[in-house]
C-alpha cells in the first residue's frame, strides 16, 4: 500500500510538473526558484522554415511552440531558396507571443509572361476573392471597352474576353475607367467612367456583360460618387458633390430616396450605418464627422476642414472602430464603439481611443483582417495595431509611385523605384522583388503562390502581364525546379 501511495504521488507530481512546463514554468538554475517563462508561437508561409533565436538554430521548424525566458531576442526564419525573415522581439514573463504571419519571398524571382500588350493596360482590377483578374485592353475592340479575364487559379488558361455592351458607356475612346468598388459576390464591379462630358458609373457584370447597368442612365442623375449599399448591387448610395445630397437608389425599381443633406464625404458599412463629414452647423473653417445609424445622426468629431476627408470604419473582435480626419489636420482620430457613448444620454459624446499623429494624411485603411489601421502621407506612415495596442511611425526612404495598400492582414505593397515593394506593418522585412511599371505593385492569387504584375519589354512601348512564382526550392512543383 505504501508503494502504491508513493507511485500515485510520483504520477501526480509528474503530471503537475508537466502541466507547469507546458504552461511555461521552469526552474531558475541560479536561484532554484520557480519562474514563469514565455511561450513563443512561430509560423510562416511556406512552412518548414528553420527557426533561429539570437543566431542559434532551434530544434524545430515552423510551425512551432518555443518556451523562452523573458528577455529581448532576435527571431530569424530561414529556408533554402527564400529570403530570410527577421525581427527583434521582447518577451515578458508569463506572456504569449505569436509570430505566425511571416511571409518568405523567393530569393531569385523568376517571371513568366502571361500576355503581351502594345502598351500599359488602362485598368487592372481583381475580385475580392482574388480569383478573377480583369485587365482592360489598351485598344478598344470595335469601339467598345474590352477586358481580358484571367482565372488566377490557373494562369496557363487563355484569357476570356469581356466586352462592355455597346452604347452602355458614353464615348469610350479617350476616356478613363477606374475601379470604384467590387460586390462581395465577386461578379459585379462598380466602375467610374470619366470622359469629356463628365463622369458616369457602370455596374459591370463579368459573368454576363449584357446585364451590366449604367447608373446615370437608369436613374437620370449625374452623381459625383456611387457606392454599393452593403456591398450588393440591389441598392446604391448616390452622392452629388454639387448639391451635397446623399440618396439611396433601388436598382430593381429605379427609385431614388433622399437620405442626408450637406454631405462632403461619406463611407457606408452595412445596410444602415454611414459615417459622413459635413460643414452644417460647424464653426468657420471646421468640419464635423457624424454617424448615421438609420434613424438619426450623432456628432463624432469636429476638426479642421480640408479638401480631402478620411472616413473609414470596420469591425475587429466584435468591436466597431471608426477613423476620421482630413488632409489638413495634424492627426487622425480612432474611436472604439463610439455609438455606445453617443446613444447614451448621460454621456452623449465619444472620446478617441487614440490619435495617430500624421500631418497631411491622404489615405486611411484597415488591413485585410482589420487588425491594423494605416494612415499615409506620401512616404510617411502611421500604423496602429488594435490587438497589441501598439503604434508605429516611420518614413520610407524612397518615394512611392502610388499609395501603399494591404497585401493581406500584415503586409503593405506598392512600387518604389520601378520595383515591386513590400513591407511588414511595422516597417520590418522590407523587400524589393521584381521590376514593375504597375504603380500599385501587383496582385496575388488566392493562395499567395503567384504575384501578377506588368513590366515593360525590350521594345519601347511593349508591356507584358507576368506572373512570378512565390515558391522556391522544394516547394516548387517538380517540373518547375
Using one digit for the tens of pLDDT, what is the confidence trace for 330-346? 999 999 999 999 999 99
Domain count, the chain: 2
Q: What is the pLDDT of residue 17?
A: 43
Query: Does a structural domain hold residue 57?
Result: yes
The order of strands in the sheet holding 297-304 is 263-269, 273-278, 286-292, 297-304
pLDDT band of residue 397 (cuts 50, 70, 90) is very high
12 and 50 in a common domain:
no
Query: Does a structural domain hold residue 46?
Result: yes
Query: Does a structural domain hold residue 181?
Result: no
| CATH number assigned to the domain comprising residue 92 | 2.60.40.1120
96 and 43 in a common domain:
yes
Query: Does a structural domain hold residue 72?
Result: yes
> Which residue has cell 489615405?
363
pLDDT band of residue 272 (cuts 50, 70, 90) is confident
| DSSP three-state, residue 400 | strand
Q: What is the pLDDT of residue 197?
A: 82
Q: What is the pLDDT of residue 33?
A: 47
Range of the domain at 51: 37-104
71 and 45 in a common domain:
yes
117 contacts: CB under 8 Å, gap ≥ 6: 135, 137, 138, 454, 462, 463, 464, 465
- DSSP lists the bridge partners of residue 415 as 420
With pLDDT > 90 as the criterion, what percentage of the chain qualifies?
82
86 and 74 in a common domain:
yes
Interatomic CA distance for residues 447 and 90, integer angstroms? 31
Q: What is the pLDDT of residue 160?
A: 97
41 and 97 in a common domain:
yes
pLDDT at 478 over 90: no
Element (H, E) at 305: none
51 and 100 in a common domain:
yes
Q: CB count, 10 Å around CB of 213?
A: 20
Element (H, E) at 4: helix 2-22
Mean local confidence (pLDDT), 282-308: 93
Q: Choose one of 60, 76, 104: the last residue of a domain.
A: 104
Give the residue from 211, 217, 234, 216 showing the smallest Cα distance to 226.
Answer: 216
Enter the C-alpha cell of residue 242: 454639387
Q: Choose one of 56, 86, 104: the last residue of a domain.
A: 104
Q: What is the pLDDT of residue 20?
A: 47
Interatomic CA distance for residues 215 and 325, integer angstroms? 30
Query: Does a structural domain hold residue 449?
Result: no
Using one digit for the tens of pLDDT, what is the confidence trace for 43-83? 999 999 999 999 999 999 999 999 999 999 999 999 999 99
30 and 86 in a common domain:
no
DSSP label of 225: E
Q: What is the pLDDT of residue 36?
A: 72
Interatomic CA distance for residues 67 and 46, integer angstroms? 23
Interatomic CA distance for residues 438 and 402, integer angstroms? 9
Query: Does a structural domain hold residue 115?
Result: no
Query: Does a structural domain hold residue 322?
Result: no
Q: Choose one of 81, 104, 127: the last residue of a domain.
A: 104
23 or 335: which carries more pLDDT confidence?
335
82 and 50 in a common domain:
yes
pLDDT band of residue 271 (cuts 50, 70, 90) is confident
Query: Does a structural domain hold residue 475?
Result: no
Amino acid at each position: 500500500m505504501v508503494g502504491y501511495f508513493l507511485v500515485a504521488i510520483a504520477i501526480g507530481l509528474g503530471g503537475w510538473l508537466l502541466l507547469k512546463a507546458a504552461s511555461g514554468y521552469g526552474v531558475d538554475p541560479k536561484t532554484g526558484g520557480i519562474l514563469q517563462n514565455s511561450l513563443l508561437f512561430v509560423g510562416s508561409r511556406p512552412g518548414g522554415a528553420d527557426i533561429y533565436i539570437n543566431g542559434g538554430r532551434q530544434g524545430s521548424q515552423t510551425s512551432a511552440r518555443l518556451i523562452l525566458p523573458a528577455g529581448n531576442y532576435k527571431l530569424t526564419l530561414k529556408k533554402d531558396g527564400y529570403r530570410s525573415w527577421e525581427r527583434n522581439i521582447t518577451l515578458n514573463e508569463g506572456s504569449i507571443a505569436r509570430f505566425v504571419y511571416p511571409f518568405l519571398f523567393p530569393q531569385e524571382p523568376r517571371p513568366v509572361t502571361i500576355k503581351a500588350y502594345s502598351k500599359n493596360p488602362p485598368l487592372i482590377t481583381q475580385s475580392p476573392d482574388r480569383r478573377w483578374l480583369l485587365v482592360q485592353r489598351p485598344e478598344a475592340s470595335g469601339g467598345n471597352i474590352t477586358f481580358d479575364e484571367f482565372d488566377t487559379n490557373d494562369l496557363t488558361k487563355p484569357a476570356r474576353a469581356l466586352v462592355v455592351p455597346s452604347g452602355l458607356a458614353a464615348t469610350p475612346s479617350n476616356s478613363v475607367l477606374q475601379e470604384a468598388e467590387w460586390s462581395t459576390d465577386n461578379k459585379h464591379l462598380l466602375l467610374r467612367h470619366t470622359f469629356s462630358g463628365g463622369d458616369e458609373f457602370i455596374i459591370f457584370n463579368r459573368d454576363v456583360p449584357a446585364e451590366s447597368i449604367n447608373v446615370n442612365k437608369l436613374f437620370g442623375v449625374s452623381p459625383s460618387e456611387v457606392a454599393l449599399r452593403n456591398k450588393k448591387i440591389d441598392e446604391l448610395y448616390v452622392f452629388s458633390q454639387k448639391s451635397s445630397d446623399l440618396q439611396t437608389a433601388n436598382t430593381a425599381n429605379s427609385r431614388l430616396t433622399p437620405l442626408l443633406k450637406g454631405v462632403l464625404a461619406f463611407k457606408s458599412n452595412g445596410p444602415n450605418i454611414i459615417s459622413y463629414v459635413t460643414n452644417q452647423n460647424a464653426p468657420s473653417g471646421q468640419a464635423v464627422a457624424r454617424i448615421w445609424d438609420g434613424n438619426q445622426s450623432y456628432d463624432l468629431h469636429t476638426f479642421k476642414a480640408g479638401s480631402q476627408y478620411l472616413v473609414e470604419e470596420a469591425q475587429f473582435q466584435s468591436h466597431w472602430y471608426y477613423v476620421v480626419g482630413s488632409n489638413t489636420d495634424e492627426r487622425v482620430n480612432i474611436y472604439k464603439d463610439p455609438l455606445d457613448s453617443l446613444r447614451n444620454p448621460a454621456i452623449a459624446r465619444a472620446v478617441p481611443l487614440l490619435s495617430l499623429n500624421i500631418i497631411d494624411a491622404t489615405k486611411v485603411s484597415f488591413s485585410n483582417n482589420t487588425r491594423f489601421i494605416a494612415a499615409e502621407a506620401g512616404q510617411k506612415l502611421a500604423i496602429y495595431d488594435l490587438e497589441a495596442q501598439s503604434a508605429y511611425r516611420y518614413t520610407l526612404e524612397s518615394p512611392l509611385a502610388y499609395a501603399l495598400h494591404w497585401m493581406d492582414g500584415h503586409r503593405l505593397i506598392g512600387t518604389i523605384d520601378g520595383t515591386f515593394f513590400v513591407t511588414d506593418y511595422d516597417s520590418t522585412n522590407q523587400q524589393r522583388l521584381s521590376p514593375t511599371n504597375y504603380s500599385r505593385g501587383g496582385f496575388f492569387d488566392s493562395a499567395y503562390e503567384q504575384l501578377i504584375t506588368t513590366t515593360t519589354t525590350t521594345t519601347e512601348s511593349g508591356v507584358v502581364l507576368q506572373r512570378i512564382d512565390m515558391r522556391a526550392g522544394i516547394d516548387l512543383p517538380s517540373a518547375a525546379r
